[in-house]
Amino acid sequence: MKLNKIFAIALAALTLTACSDDDDVNSAACTVSMQEQTINASEDMVADIYYYVPIQVTGDSNGPIRVTVEVSGTGTTPATENEHYVVTSKTITIPAGEKVGKIEFHPTGDTESNEDRQFVMTIVSAEGAAIGQNKTTVINLLDDDHLLPEAYAKIDGIYTCNGDGEQLTLGIATYPEGDENYLKKAIIYGWEGYQWAQIECTFSYDVATNKVRLNIPVGALVAEGVDFGDIGVCNIFVCGYSSEGLSLGGSISVVSNEDISEFEFQGGIAGGIFDGSASEANGSAFLGYVWFRYLSLNMTKMQ
Q: How far is CA 137 from CA 38, 74, 94, 213, 230, in A?
A: 5, 11, 18, 26, 62
For 161-174, the pLDDT digits (tens) are 999 999 999 999 99
38-42, 156-160, 180-184 — which one is most confidently predicted on average? 156-160
Virtual torsion, Cα 73, 77, 83, 87, nearest 10 deg: -40
For residues 31 and 58, the answer to whether their CB atoms sit within 8 Å is yes
Q: What percent of the chain has pLDDT over 70?
A: 88
Q: Which CATH class is domain 31-143?
A: mainly beta
Q: What is the mean pLDDT of residues 199-214?
A: 90
Q: What is residue 4's predicted lDDT score, i.e. its pLDDT?
A: 62
18-22, 73-77, 276-280 — which one is most confidently predicted on average? 73-77
For 244-261, the pLDDT digits (tens) are 999 998 999 999 999 999
- Give the DSSP letter of residue 229: G
Tell me the pairing of strands 233-242 and 245-247: antiparallel
2: pLDDT strictly greater than 70? no
**Distance between CA atoms of residues 191 and 239, nearest Å:** 14
**Distance between CA atoms of residues 233 and 278, nearest Å:** 12
Strand partners, 134: none
What is the sign, positive or negative, of the torsion defined by CA atoms of 219, 225, 228, 231? positive
For residues 129 and 30, the answer to whether their CB atoms sit within 8 Å is yes
